[in-house]
Amino acid sequence: MVTDPNTSPLRSLLGWINARSDLADNEARRELGDAFEWAEARSVLVPRGSFARILCPACSGHAVRLELHNGNHVVRCTETGIQLVSASAFDRWRVDVGSFAKDISAAMALPETSFRTRREGHLFELGSLDHDGRDKAVFLLAGGWDTEILETSLNALDNLSSRDTGLVLTTAKFPLSLRSDAKHRFIPLEEIMALEEDGLKIDRLSLGKWLRAGHRPRPKRTDAPEWHEIVDRAVSSLKAAPSWGTVQTSNARAIRSWAKDRKIDHKLPKSDRSIVRHFKALNPID
């Protein structure tokens, strides 16, 4: 099976973890490709029953239900008509973050006895890694940058040890505020690992570059003004609110109000147009 050329198996897996979302069987198989069998066998993907509807496998343009037609499982596509499918196409999967964390630890050849779950689904202690003659604790910080989850997980990291915490592998690209955090050395998993047919593989050359460079390996496009991160956090919190809509200027005012409640509104640009341009580019309204 060939993976989607516009993504990668690991990027898809990390995206599902960050979104904390279930996925349909056909989506999982398409995006993981040959690595799907590994993920199922290692319980990285665990079954969660089945979906009542899935995206049409024929055209991907609408939702469909599973039906029986002349003794066969079918879906009705608005473009191509009745299509034969396997009932397993409606199987529902979720990523088991704990199993995924254990496989990261194994890929890095860390001792199994050192593995600890520190916050279920979010923070795992993978073991320790020798770097420059010193043992560095290695953690996995899983999930997107939801403010409450992030703050709770970082507090847990701070409480684990009074010494330098060591390396914190992240499932999401870290926000700008973490780049200036001297205590933790954050490394996005996608920068140092790949998911292949037989499992996770670590790129030790890339890991070495990140270790030598610390948490600022090189300038990237993400080196943007601090207010970009504030807008991203606000949009993440507000998109589920009833007040969030399609009127861009109203949403910009809602972002300012969100920031004002947290006493950080002075960091936003004066122009609502700048705010709108940013959240439309990175967080398009559904």
pLDDT at residue number 240: 63
pLDDT for the residue 63: 86
Cβ contacts of residue 235 below 8 Å, gap of 6+? Answer: 251, 255, 279, 283
Structure tokens at 106: 């194994």
Q: Which residue has the tokens 């290692």?
A: 42
Counting as low any pLDDT under 50, the low residues of the chain are 1-6, 176, 180, 215-224, 283-286
* DSSP codes, 255-271: HHHHHHHTT-GGGS-S-
10 Å CB burial of residue 11 (0-12, 13-18, 19+) is: middle
Phi, psi of 263 (to 5 degrees): 60, 35
Q: How far is Cα 229 from Cα 227, in angstroms, rounded to an integer?
A: 5
pLDDT for the residue numbered 175: 59
Structure tokens, 133 = 């003659």
Strands, sheet with 23-24, edge to edge from the N-terminal-most edge strand: 23-24, 91-95, 45-50
Three-state secondary-structure class, residue 160? helix
The arrangement of strands across the sheet holding 123-131 comes to: 116-119, 123-131, 134-141, 166-170, 184-188
Q: Count Cβ neighbours within 10 Å for each residue of 24-51 and write b for 16 or more, e otherwise.
A: bbbbbbbbbbebbebbbebebbeeeeeb
Instruction: Please state the separation of Cα 28 from the chain's center in Å.
Output: 15
* Average pLDDT in the chain: 79
Report d(CA 41, CA 200) in Å as an integer.
13
Report pLDDT for 242.
63
Query: Tens of pLDDT along 11-48?
Result: 889 888 888 878 889 888 888 999 999 999 999 999 98
Q: What is the pLDDT of residue 212?
A: 75
What's the CA gap between 106 and 165, in Å, rounded?
20
Amino acid at 281: A
Buried b (16+ CB within 10 A) or exposed e, 240-260: eeeebeeebeebbebbbebbe
Q: What is the pLDDT of residue 53?
A: 87
Separation of alpha carbons 91 and 73, rounded Å: 14
Answer yes or no: are the C-beta atoms of 25 and 50 closer than 8 Å: no
